[in-house]
Every structure is written in structure tokens, then in C-alpha cells.
Amino acid sequence: MNRFTDRKALVTGGGSGIGQATVLRLLAEGCTVAAMDIAAPGLEDTAAKANEAGHGERLSTQVVDIGDEASVTTAVPAAMERLAGLDVLVNAAGILRSAHTAAMPLGDWNQVIRVNLTGTFLMTREALPALLASGRGVVVNFSSTSAAFAHPYMAAYAASKGGVQSFTHAIALEYAAQGLRAVAVAPGSISSGMTDASGASGQNRGPGIPEDADMRLFSKLMPALNPSGSEFGFAGPEAIAGIVAALASDDGAFVTGTEIRIDGGTHM
């Protein structure tokens, strides 16, 4: 399946987890991809995997801090020049900081909002002219099931993802007449570097979960499906990458201004 043979995409968070899986999926379908991440080693790993799969010649990588305006306004034009245009923007980069809301430092709150929400805005703003010029531009933003369902100790993260969801609706309507589609995906119960580090599975208390957290609150965050047979029923990042590819391709041509929940039935 080569739905992206003539298309060009920019993917943030491309050095690990869902972002990396999305880069590799788009490459496998013929896309030319610019992958961005704040971590150079992660991008090197993505490039190595792309080379191993025989797609390395269609991948370029660039270190960027999406929450920093100067970094974004430098990196995005450079990437689009390498790509000679842009058809798809996937805003997959994000961070998670967990704490009792009453004890969360303002710095942690601001960092989560800066990266997850402001970073999505900055990347979209800089990419919009090229996406509109393509005539069939697509923005895929990353929300989360936490935007609509209660996830304890994750108030900042939930707020940022709720903002991303609303932002997606706004730009979908604003630019629909110019051929742009904007969709949000809302993953849940996905095994990735971010969830594993936070202990978000509810089974392992990672460094982000308070020591006195009530782990019973996580009992409702287990998926109904477990096709992978994993210990907690969490799916791998490839489960999200496949949906992103479908939405960004012409198969998703009539999908815009909405969010797609991908959580194995966790929040039925």
C-alpha cells in the first residue's frame, strides 16, 4: 500500500514512541518525511530503523524544541525547503508530568502547556502556508483520552490535550474552504516512553506518579481489548500510527474537525 507516494509530511516527536512509529509507517507507504524531536539520539534511532527498512533516503531529521518559538520558526522553513512543500503535519510530540494538583509546581504546569498546546500551535502556524498551498493539506494533532475522561494526577496534561482538541476544531472550520483537513487522535492505553515512564498503566508507579497515589483510581483505565496479549492490555505505538496514516491519506478525505479515540475500549 503506497498511499503517500507523492506526498510530503512533517512529524514531531519522531524520535520515539508513537511519533517514531508514525514516521516509519508513512515512509513504508511511500511518503517523504521530515522527522523532528528534541532528542538527537532518538532521531538517530529513527534514521537507523528507516535505513534498515530501506526507506532512509526519504527521511530527513532535525532537532527542534516545539515549545520555543525561535526554534520552530527556524526549523519548519528549513524542513519545508528540504521537502519542497508540505502535505501533512503530524503533531505527535508531547510530555507528561503527573502530580497532586494541589502540589504541582507552576513551572511543571507551564512546561506541559508550552510543549503540548503552544508547541502544537507554533508548528501548525508555521506549516499552514505550505499546507494550504498543497490544496489537500492535513493536520493530525494529538489529543488524549484524558481530555474527555478523568485521569488522576494529570490535570496539566489533560488541560493541554483538551486545548489541542478545541484548537483542532477551530482550524478545521477556519480553513476548510481552502482544502485543509484537521483531525485529532485521542490515544489511550498505549505503551510508549511517556506512559511507561509515568506509570500510567496504573500497575507500576513510575517517577511521575505521587508516592501516596491511590492506585485504585487507575482501575478504570484498563482496555477491554487485548489483541497483543500484553500484561496490561496496552497496545504498541503502531496501533496509533496506522490510524494516523489512514486519516492523513485520501482514505480520510471526508474526516475533519473531529477526534478519533483509540484506546481498545478503555472508555466505553
The catalytic residue among 109, 142, 157, 218 is 157
157 is catalytic: yes
DSSP of the chain: --TTTT-EEEEETTTSHHHHHHHHHHHHTT-EEEEEES-HHHHHHHHHHHHHTT-GGGEEEEE--TT-HHHHHHHHHHHHHHHTS-SEEEE---------GGG--HHHHHHHIIIIIIHHHHHHHHHHHHHHHHSS-EEEEE--GGGTS--TT-HHHHHHHHHHHHHHHHHHHHTGGGT-EEEEEEE-SB--HHHHHHTTTSSS--TTS-TT--GGGGGGG--S--TT--TT-PBPTHHHHHHHHHHHSGGGTT--SEEEEESTTTT-
Q: Which residues are catalytic?
A: 157
